Structure 1
Amino acid sequence: MSNEMKDLKKQQRQVQNTFDAVQQFIRKFKPEKHQLQIQVRLEMLESAMKKFYAVRRKLEILSEEADEKESIDTKESSEDRVTRMESLAEKREEESAQLSRQAEDSYCEMKSTLQSLQSDLQTSSSSSSKIQPSDQSCVQSRVKLPEIRLPSFGGKTRDWVTFRDMFRSLIHRNEQLTEMDKFTYLRSSLTGEALQEVNSIEISAVNYTVAWEVLQTRYENKKLFVKAHLDALFAEEPMKRENYEALNHLLSEYDRNLQMLEKIGEAPSNWSTILVYMVCSRLDPVTLRHWESHHSSKDVPRIDGFPPCTLFSTTIHNTR
Structure 2
Amino acid sequence: MDLVQLKRKRGNVKSSLTKFATFVGTYQRGDSKAETELRVRLEKADNLLDRYEEIQDLIEEMDETELRNATESRKEFEDTFYGVISRARNFLQGNSCQSNSVQGCSSHTESIHMKNIHLLALTLPKFSGEYTDWLPFKDAFLSAVHNNDKLTSSEKFRYLRSSLQNEPLNLLAALETSNENYSLAWNMLKDRYENERLIIHNHLKALFDLPNKCWKRKSL
* TM-score, structure 1 normalization: 0.42
Q: Which residue of 1 aligns with 2:34?
A: none
Larger RCO (alpha carbons 8 Å, 6+ apart)? 2
Q: Which residue of 1 aligns with 2:149?
A: 175
Q: How many Å separate the matches in 2 of 1:182 and 1:122?
A: 15
Q: Is the 8 A contact 1:26 1:114 kept in 2?
A: no
Q: Which letter maps to 2:116?
A: L
Q: Which residue of 2 aligns with 1:239?
A: 214
Q: Which residue of 1 aligns with 2:174?
A: 200
**SS across alignment from 1:211:** helix
- Computed over aligned residues only, the root mean square deviation of the Cα atoms, in angstroms, reads 4.8
CA offsets per residue over residues 99-134 of structure 1, 9 Å max, x none?
557889999888655545556678998xx9744877
Q: Which residue of 1 aligns with 2:27?
A: none
CA offsets per residue over residues 281-314 of structure 1, 9 Å max, x none?
xxx7xxxxxxxxxxxxxxxxxxxxxxxxxxxxxx
- Are the structure 2 counterparts of residues 24 and 181 from structure 1 closer, same or farther at C-alpha, using a change threshold of 3 Å? farther
1:140 aligns with 2:111: yes
What displacement does 1:204 show? 1.1
- Are the structure 2 counterparts of residues 210 and 141 from structure 1 closer, same or farther at C-alpha, using a change threshold of 3 Å? same
Q: Which letter maps to 1:207?
A: N
Q: Is the 8 A contact 1:45 1:111 kept in 2?
A: no
* 1:302-317 paired onto structure 2 within 5 Å: none
Of structures 1 and 2, the larger Rg is shown by 1
Q: How many Å separate the matches in 1 of 2:209 and 2:170?
A: 27
- Are the structure 2 counterparts of residues 180 and 100 from structure 1 closer, same or farther at C-alpha, using a change threshold of 3 Å? same
- Are the structure 2 counterparts of residues 240 and 185 from structure 1 closer, same or farther at C-alpha, using a change threshold of 3 Å? same
Consecutive unaligned residues in structure 2, runs of 5 or more:
1-5, 25-37, 91-98
Q: How many Å separate the matches in 2 of 1:137 and 1:105?
A: 33
Q: Which letter maps to 1:239?
A: C
Q: How many Å separate the matches in 2 of 1:206 and 1:240?
A: 51
Q: Is the 8 A contact 2:145 2:151 kept in 1?
A: yes
Q: Which residue of 2 aligns with 1:8?
A: none
Q: How many Å separate the matches in 2 of 1:213 and 1:194?
A: 12
Q: Which residue of 1 aligns with 2:185?
A: 211
* Identity rate, percent: 28
What displacement does 1:146 show? 1.1
Q: How many Å separate the matches in 2 of 1:212 and 1:228?
A: 22
